[in-house]
Amino acid sequence: MTPKSLNLFVLPAIMLAIFLTIAVALWLSTGNAFYLFNFGYIGTALAIGMGVYAALPARKKPMGRRLAQFLIGTYMLVFLGLLQRENMQIEGFFFYLLAGIFAGSVIHYLVAKIVGVFIFNRGWCGWACWTAMILDLLPFKRHKTEPLAAPWWGLRYVHFGLSLGLVAWLWWGTGYRVEMQSVTELYWLVVGNLLYYVIGIGLAFVLQDNRAFCKYVCPIPTLQKIPARFALLKIAGNAEKCNDCGACNKMCPMDINISGYIQQGRRVLSTECIMCLECINVCAKDALFVNFGNDREVR
């Protein structure tokens, strides 16, 4: 059975409606108008980026994604992180959970990196992350080197374990307690992000791959992988149109064997997919599209 495609002009409207629903629901249930502004802004920025993507010709489409990345990434890092002094690093998320504080950071992780992934897949990584918005500026979009061997993919789990261990030691071992909007929060965010940027840019040049940090070091996919497997939004394809040229595989920043899935009549099930849509752009046969549904309908 052929999977249904989602019209790329309809997607921005759907995204905006979802974010506005979240904004109103949180505003009404907490009485805090900030949620209205926050999710209204993010939904609007995403819809603008997706609208620009849909409107531009294929060669220029990535500009729409980059626009959304900058509108959302800088807002979250500069406004929520640096000005509001919220520790948006993964350690901040763990600390707020331990302290029982329903901080903006916790909502961000739930919406963008855990629960929301069941719907949007890893769209955060393709369209909004403030680390990747810098990494995607580097010159190695189509990396020339082979992906690293399997053991290196485990680094992200080591990173996740070290972050969790550090938080546990500080919390139970030293009695450290998080103080909202303190200078410590700000330092943690600034130093953590600088480290991410330095390691991410260094790895990109060493491995000639803009997204090397995302593939091997970042701990966030550890949280995303299970919901991403069951995500409603995925890339799908029409096997009858696909001539197995491999252009999409070469373009994919996450090294996914896209044509393999399409030839098997399946959606792209890989939990590495960041929904960047580069594969759709590059396919001369117009065989790929965004699909909202479940995996049974395309087998």
For binding to ligand SF4 (CB under 6 A), which residues are involved?
125, 129, 131-132, 213-214, 218, 220-221, 235, 237, 242-248, 251-254, 256, 258-259, 262, 268, 273-279, 282-283, 285, 287-288
Bridge partners for 289 per DSSP? 236
Q: Which is nearer to ligand SF4, 106 or 258 (CB)?
A: 258
Query: How buried is 83 (Cβ within 10 angstroms: 0-12 exposed, 13-18 middle, 19+ buried)?
Result: exposed
Q: Which distant-in-sequence residues (6+ apart) come within 8 Å of 54 by Cβ?
A: 8, 9, 11, 12, 64
Query: How buried is 81 (Cβ within 10 angstroms: 0-12 exposed, 13-18 middle, 19+ buried)?
Result: buried
Q: Looking at residue 26, what DSSP letter applies?
A: H
Asked if 156 and 216 touch (Cβ cutoff 8 Å), the reply is yes
Which ranges constitute the DSSP H helices of 31-78? 34-55, 62-74
Q: Token pair of 164, please? A: 């969790």
Please report how close the Cβ of residue 28 comes to ligand SF4 at its closest, in angstroms: 30
Please report how close the Cβ of residue 143 comes to ligand SF4 at its closest, in angstroms: 12
Please report how close the Cβ of residue 76 comes to ligand SF4 at its closest, in angstroms: 11
Q: Which is nearer to ligand SF4, 23 or 214 (CB)?
A: 214
Please report how close the Cβ of residue 112 comes to ligand SF4 at its closest, in angstroms: 9
> CA triplet 154, 160, 166: central angle to 5 degrees?
135
φ, ψ of residue 74 in degrees (nearest 5): -70, -35
Please report how close the Cβ of residue 136 comes to ligand SF4 at its closest, in angstroms: 9
Asked if 63 and 126 touch (Cβ cutoff 8 Å), the reply is no
Q: Which is nearer to ligand SF4, 47 or 277 (CB)?
A: 277
Asked if 3 and 291 touch (Cβ cutoff 8 Å), the reply is yes
* 284 conformational bin, left if phi > 0, alpha if psi -120 to 50, beta if neither: alpha
Q: Token pair of 104, please? A: 């903006």
**Angle in degrees, 0-180, between the axes of helices 34-55 and 62-74, rounded to the nearest 10:** 160
